[in-house]
Amino acid sequence: MFVDRARIVIKAGDGGDGAVSFHREKYVAAGGPDGGDGGKGGDVVFQVDDNFSTLIDFRYKRKYVAERGENGSARNCTGKSAPPLIIKVPRGTVIRDAATGRIMADMSTDEPKILAKGGRGGKGNVHFATSTRQIPKFAKPGFPGESFEVTLELKLLADVGLVGYPNVGKSTLISVVSAAKPKIANYHFTTLTPVLGVVRLDEERSFVMADIPGLIEGAGDGVGLGHEFLRHVERCRLIVHVVDVSGIEGRDPKSDFEVINAELAKFNEDLAKRPQIVAANKSDMATEEQIADFKAYIEEKGIPFFCISAATTQGTAELINKVSEVLETLPPIKEFEPEPIPQEELDEMAGAGKRFEIEVEDGIYYVEAPWIEPIMRTVDPEDYSSLQYFQRVLINSGIIAKLEEMGIQEGDTVNLEGFEFDFVY
C-alpha cells in the first residue's frame, strides 16, 4: 500500500530530577549537600532511510515518546542522559506542525534533524547551598521535553514528472526509458500510485523520472486521483506533458493540454511556470494532419515538442536526450526550507509554561497548574528553606497575586493540585 500522508505525536524525554542528598562519610562531620543534577531527556530525531518508500508504518503507530533522563544521585553524580529516539522516514518527507501548518523539516538529505528537544536535567541541592542556607532540602525537577503533533507528507524526489490524462501512455513511456515496471493496460487509472524510474543515458548521466497518476479535469479540487498525487509534482524540475495526439478516445489533444495545465496551476501556481516538454504520444495511430496541427499549436507557445510512440519506442531516445539537456540548465530539486516560529506563537509558548486557573468552591481555592507538580515533588514541607523556595515559585508565577486579587483571607484553604495548605501572609 502506498501511503504518503500520516499524522503522529512526538514527545521528547523529560529531564531527570535533581537529587536531594547529603554527604555521609566516616570522620567527615557535616559533609554538606551533594545531590547531583538530573540527566537530559532524549531528543526526537528524524532520519532518512532509503529502504522506506511509503509512510505506511505510521498508520499503525501514532505516538513516539523518547526516554526520560535519569535522576541525579548522591556524591554529585549526574543522572545519565537518555539516548535520542530516531524515527526513520522515506527520502522526501516534509514534516509540518499539525496545529499551524508550519514546515519544521524537509527530509531530503542524509542529515538527521532534531524535531523535539529533550528537557534539561534539574539542579541537585548542592547548587542551592549558601552561607545562610547550608542544608537545602530541595532540588529542581527536570524540564519537560518538547512535544508536537506533526503531519508527515511524502513528496517524491524526482527530476522529471510525467503528467497527462489517464491512458495516454505515461506508464509505457517510463517502462521503455527506465527499469521501472509499472502496470500497463488499456483502461483508465491503471496506475494507482506514483512510479519512480531511473533513466540512465551513460555511466555519468542519469536522472529520476516519476509517473504521476490520476490527473483529469478537476484534479486540483479532488476529482480522480489527482488530489492524492499532485503533491509529488511539486519537487520536479521539469515536466514532461504526455498527450494522446491521436485523439483515439474522442478527446481533443489541445483541450487535454490546457485542462491538465489548468489543474497544475490550480494546485500550485509555481507548477504552471515550471519548464515543460510536450510528448505527443500514440503518433503511430494519428494522421499527419493531427500531428502537424498539434505541433503548430504547442510550438506557438514556445514549448519544445516531440512526436513519439512509447509502444514502439519511436522518438523516445530523442525525447530523453532533450530532457537531459534541459535538466543541465535547471537548478537542483526543490527543497522546502523550515519556517521560523511566528513571534505570536513564541509568546504563547512562553506564557503557557506558567499558565494556571483558580476556582473557588465551598470556600476552598482550587489552583490548577500542571507545571508545578514536578516542583512539588522536590519540596520538603517540613523544611523551612524548602518552603521558602516553594513560596518564591508561587510569587514569581503570579499565583499569590491572583489569590489576593480574588479576595483570599489568611487562614483560607488552598488546594494546589491536590496538596492543601492554609494561606498565610
* Residue 70 per-residue DSSP state: P
Strand pairing report for 364-368 and 357-361: antiparallel
pLDDT at 229: 65
What is the distance between the alpha carbons of residues 338 and 102, in angstroms, rounded to a whole number?
A: 8
Please answer whether residues 184 and 171 qualify as being in contact, where contact means their C-beta atoms are separated by less than 8 angstroms. Answer: yes
Every domain of the chain with CATH number 3.30.300.350 lies at 353-422
Every domain of the chain with CATH number 2.70.210.12 lies at 1-156
Tell me which residue has cell 495516454.
168
Beta bridge partners of 239: 161, 276
Cell numbers at 142, concatenated:
527536570
What is the distance between the alpha carbons of residues 182 and 154, in angstroms, rounded to a whole number?
A: 20
pLDDT at 187: 41
Top-tier CATH class for 353-422: alpha beta
pLDDT tens digits in sequence order for the chain, 425 residues long: 467 789 999 999 999 999 988 888 777 767 788 889 999 999 999 999 988 878 888 988 999 999 999 999 988 899 999 999 999 998 889 999 998 888 999 998 999 999 999 998 988 988 888 777 788 888 888 888 999 999 998 887 788 988 888 888 888 898 888 876 655 544 444 445 677 788 888 777 888 888 887 565 544 444 444 456 677 778 889 999 999 998 888 889 999 899 888 888 888 888 878 899 999 999 988 889 999 999 999 999 999 999 999 889 999 999 999 999 999 999 888 888 887 766 666 555 555 556 788 888 888 888 888 777 777 776 777 777 777 778 888 888 888 888 888 888 888 888 887 778 888 86
What is the distance between the alpha carbons of residues 194 and 182, in angstroms, rounded to a whole number?
A: 9
Strand pairing report for 103-107 and 113-116: unpaired
The torsion of the CA quartet 336, 338, 340, 344, rounded to 10 degrees, works out to: 80
pLDDT at 347: 55
> Sign of the CA dihedral 166, 169, 171, 173?
negative
φ, ψ dihedrals at 220, nearest 5°: -65, -20
Structure pTM?
A: 0.71
Please answer whether residues 223 and 203 qualify as being in contact, where contact means their C-beta atoms are separated by less than 8 angstroms. Answer: no
Q: In a 10 Å sphere around its CB, with 0-12 CB exposed, 13-18 middle and 19+ buried, how is residue 52 labelled?
A: middle
* Residue 27 per-residue DSSP state: T
Every domain of the chain with CATH number 3.40.50.300 lies at 160-327
Question: What residues contact 263, with CB distance under 8 A and at least 6 apart?
Answer: 215, 216, 217, 218, 219, 220, 226, 230
CATH of 160-327, one of 3.40.50.300, 3.30.70.380, 3.30.70.141, 1.10.260.40: 3.40.50.300
pLDDT at 56: 86
CATH superfamily of 1-156: GTP1/OBG domain (2.70.210.12)
